[in-house]
Structures are given as C-alpha cells and as structure tokens.
Chains A and B, each alone.
Chain A
C-alpha cells in the first residue's frame, strides 16, 4: 500500500473557526510532512515530523498547530486563520531524509472566508 490519505478533501471555514486536517499512511515511513501550495506555485514546506517528533518548523504562524499522534497519523489543527491561508494543504511521507522520494496525499483544499 503506497497511499497517503487525507481528510477532508475540501474545507470552508470562517476566520473564528477551529478545524483539523488529517493525514494517514501505512507504509512504515518515519518522516511525515505538511506542505502548503498556492495556485501555480511549488509546495511550500511547513512542518516535518521524524520518528513522531517535530524536526522542522518553517516559521509557520501559531494559528497552524501540527500533531503526530503516532507513526501513521499526522494532524494539522487550524485556528483563527486568515483569508490568505486559503490554499491546498498537502501531506507527504517518506522513508526518511531528503534522499528518499516523498509520497503525497491528494490534499485538502482549504478556503477561509
């Protein structure tokens, strides 16, 4: 199974809402990633978890809060977002390190109103 799943596929939320994005992989990968992608732009790294520990935070605003409950799951908690946070949020996993290919999930299309 080489699939990364993400839920929900689409999300519309107000600026005062709290919501969570979920990501799951069952490939035994030790690294999991959150990316933000705007239209016609490359994926922009937000967070990396390695062995369930946060290893990279790309100076992401605190209104985005990642969580890795176990080696297969990755969450992104959202609170008090801004309209400019509207984007495609991609989860990815890899065996670990920049020397391994990343498997991306289908993404969550987020709209902040």
Chain B
C-alpha cells in the first residue's frame, strides 16, 4: 500500500549546525505538505509544494520537491533552539478519497544550546 517514510527518525544537533530531513513516498504525489509540531503542541502547517523540482524558502528553511514527485526534503540552516520539534511531511492518499492526507512518521529534532 501507499507509504510515506521519513529519515532520520531522530536528529540531535548543536545550535548553529544545519539539519535536513528527507521524505519518501512509495507513489507519485500531486503535492506534499510539511508540518511542525513543537513538544506538547499541535501540528502547524509550514508549506506546500506542488511542482516537480520546486524549491521554496522560508527564512532559514528550504523545502524541495523531487523531480519525480516522490520525495521531498526540508533543510534548516544554522539551527536555533526555536527549531526544536517534530517535522512531518504529508501527502494525499491516492486510493479512495480526495480528502485524506497521509502523514510520514516524522523527524524529531533536538537542538543542543
């Protein structure tokens, strides 16, 4: 069945280091979304990518959508303690309904001050 995977599961970085999480889908996606969930919080939408090869930037965050639309990445430059949280990618569930989004398992980022 359709799967969305993320690596790594956990990442510990020193403050100021860069961080990258990778998202891979077993099927081609029409779009991919990224969410951030702080510890004790709820998922917050970061960005959506739609086009093959698309790159979007939000300050220190860079998001990419692969050419085949089956993978994506989130890169954070010079991490800060405010970046701590779990980053989820999410893509449409293709089989049954237009309304369902399938979340990857997430990458948990810890930043050591």
Contact = CB atoms under 8 A, between A and B. Distances in A.
Chain A complexes with chain B: yes
Interface of A: 31, 40-43, 45, 48, 50, 55-56, 90, 92, 96-99, 101-107
A31 B99 contact: yes
A104 B43 contact: yes
Given A90-B42, A107-B42, A102 B101 contact: yes
B85 interface: no
B3 to A, nearest CB: 12
Given A42-B105, A42-B106, A98 B42 contact: no
Contacts of A103: 45
B42 A56 contact: no
Interface residues of B, number: 26
Contact of B97 (A40, A41, A42, A56): A56
B88 A99 contact: no
A92 B35 CA distance: 13
Interface string B55-97: 0000000000000000000000000000000001001110011
B99 A55 contact: yes
B20 interface: no
Given A42-B106, A99-B31, A50 B45 contact: no
Contacts of A106: 41-42
A105 B42 CA distance: 7
